[in-house]
Amino acid sequence: MEGAPKRVVLHVDIDYFYAQVEERENPSLKDKPVVVCVYSGRTEDSGAVSTANYIARKLGVKSGMPITLAKKILKENKDAYFVGMRKEYYETVSDAIMEILRGFADMFQQVSIDEAFLDVTQKIQGDFEKATDYANRIKQEVRSKERLTCSVGVGPNKLIAKMASDIKKPYGLTVVAPENVQSFLNPMSVGKLFLVGPKTEEKLNEIGVKTIGELSEVKVERLVDDFGERFGEYLYRASRGIDNVPVLEKEITQISRIATLKKNTRNVEEILPLVNSLADDVHRKSLVERKDFKSISIIAIMEDLSIHTRTKTLKVTTDSLEIIKNSARELFESFLNESQNVSVRRVGVKVSGFEAKTGQTSLIDSAKG
Ligand code: DCP
Ligand code: CA
Ligand code: CA
């Protein structure tokens, strides 16, 4: 593309983060299965696995599974070590690592407790030949200063860097120069494309698309018909490795959308279709930004132009579209019940109270239709 500056973007993700911190604190754990647990406190073993080291994963333990199941899987293993999550401590470790990473970047964006994007274009003069050495220096610096390993992906943009960091783990490095982007993507299954979840994957498989290369051969019109304008166009671009989103220093603190109703009304059924489509937009944006949210708000601007907001705050963060829609409906219903006899003119939906996403589990499956 003419004039588009050539960029070099790194994505750094710490390997089995919480469990690796536990290993660091307690070297006797090194060769044992380590499972970090979030105990809910209801019964001794109720709760979920936060993460596990690779030894435990090989045996079948996964993030999110019930602790009781993990214990069953490791029942025969006398060495298995279960430890309660120490989030605040991991946060301080994270801060120290982010500080190191920031020093290597022209522009820096932390996206979760254990991952960040670094725009290093100036640092290495846009030269991909220098990228391998530079990324290795970063890995070594984190290892020597913090005694933790991370994996790094390098690409011409965030999309490719993010996908590349996941290829070799732990302590991996994958560099994808611009001329190799399409051959990097082509053989991968479409499910590996960022933001393609199981449902989208299934829909694509149904039209005969199994790999990202095959996806890149589908006409954009077809994708827009099947998946809606935004997501259809995203798939078209992403399958070609195109992503122009800059590495942003500033973290956003909320995502909102507002629109005007076709006619002023106090009837919730007339309001909901627009609210739901705003919820779709807000949700998609939260996935793209990799933000989990805790609060859902509605905004109502009345015919007298007075502005009202109502907020619902959850106990835990979520990325659920369902929850946005249900909360927005609830909030509008109770707002309309308590408000004066004035009609609504504009409506808005907002999510806030972010915690950056930790896993790679954010999947768009709510495409149009
Ligand atoms: N995490 C969690 N619950 C999940 C997923 C993740 O509490 N369902 C926490 C624990 C992880 C941390 O977030 O250590 C980072 O998440 P990642 O998805 O990056 O997973 P890991 O760092 O544990 O492993 P990997 O080596 O695959 O990056
Ligand atoms: Ca990680
Ligand atoms: Ca991560």
pLDDT at 358: 54
pLDDT at 341: 85
- Tell me the pLDDT of the chain averaged across its residues: 92
How far lies 121's CA from each of 106, 172, 240, in Å?
7, 21, 21
The closest residue, in CA terms, to atom 7 on ligand 1 is: 50
pLDDT at 359: 47
- The one-character DSSP state at 232 is H
pLDDT at 272 over 60: yes
Weakest-pLDDT range from 48-52, 170-174, 243-247, 307-311:
307-311
Position in ligand 1 atom list of the atom nearest CA 19: 14
pLDDT at 2: 46
pLDDT at 96: 85
Residue 36 CB neighbours (<10 A): 26
Tokens of 190: 């479409």
User: How far from chain centre, in Å, is Cα 26?
Assistant: 30
pLDDT at 1 over 60: no
pLDDT at 344: 95
Residues catalogued as catalytic: 115
pLDDT at 103: 93
- Residues, Cβ < 5 Å to ion ligand 3: 13, 114-115
When pLDDT is averaged across residues 198-226 and rounded to a whole number, the result is 96
Give every strand in the sheet of 107-112, ordered side by side. 107-112, 115-119, 9-14, 150-155, 173-175
When pLDDT is averaged across residues 315-319 and rounded to a whole number, the result is 93
Answer whether 323's CB lies under 8 Å from 314's CB: yes
Beta strand pairing call for 150-155 and 9-14: antiparallel
**Per-residue model confidence as pLDDT tens digits over 33-73:** 999 999 988 889 999 999 999 999 999 999 999 999 999 99
Buried b (16+ CB within 10 A) or exposed e, 126-154: eebeebeebbeebbeebeeebebbbbbbb
Q: Which of 59, 34, 28 is nearest to 49 (CA)?
A: 34
When pLDDT is averaged across residues 73-89 and rounded to a whole number, the result is 93
pLDDT at 339 over 60: yes
pLDDT at 357: 67
pLDDT at 140: 98
Weakest-pLDDT range from 134-143, 181-190, 308-317:
308-317
What three-state secondary structure class fits 252? coil
- State which of 358, 360, 363 you would mutate to test the pocket of ligand 1, scoring each by most atoms of that ligand within 8 A of its C-beta: 358
pLDDT at 360: 41
pLDDT at 88: 79
Residues with CB under 6 A from ligand 1: 13-18, 50-51, 63-64, 113-114, 169, 358-360
pLDDT at 239: 98
Tokens of 344: 């609504």
**Per-residue model confidence as pLDDT tens digits over 273-311:** 999 999 999 999 898 778 999 999 999 989 887 878 899
When pLDDT is averaged across residues 132-138 and rounded to a whole number, the result is 98
| d(CA 276, ligand 1 centre) in Å | 31
> Could you please report the per-residue DSSP string of 156-216?
SSHHHHHHHHTTSTTT-EEE--GGGHHHHHTTSBGGGSTTB-HHHHHHHHHTT--BHHHHT
pLDDT at 86 over 90: no
pLDDT at 307: 79
pLDDT at 228 over 80: yes
The contacts of residue 92 (CB under 8 Å, 6+ apart) are none
pLDDT bin (cut points 50, 70, 90) of residue 4 is: low
| d(CA 192, ligand 1 centre) in Å | 18
pLDDT at 363 over 60: no
By percentage, how much of the chain surpasses pLDDT 70?
94
**Per-residue model confidence as pLDDT tens digits over 93-118:** 888 898 899 999 999 999 999 999 99
Terminal C-alpha separation, the chain: 33
pLDDT bin (cut points 50, 70, 90) of residue 133 is: very high
Position in ligand 1 atom list of the atom nearest CA 359: 18
Q: Which of 331, 7, 354, 309 is nearest to 176 (CA)?
A: 7
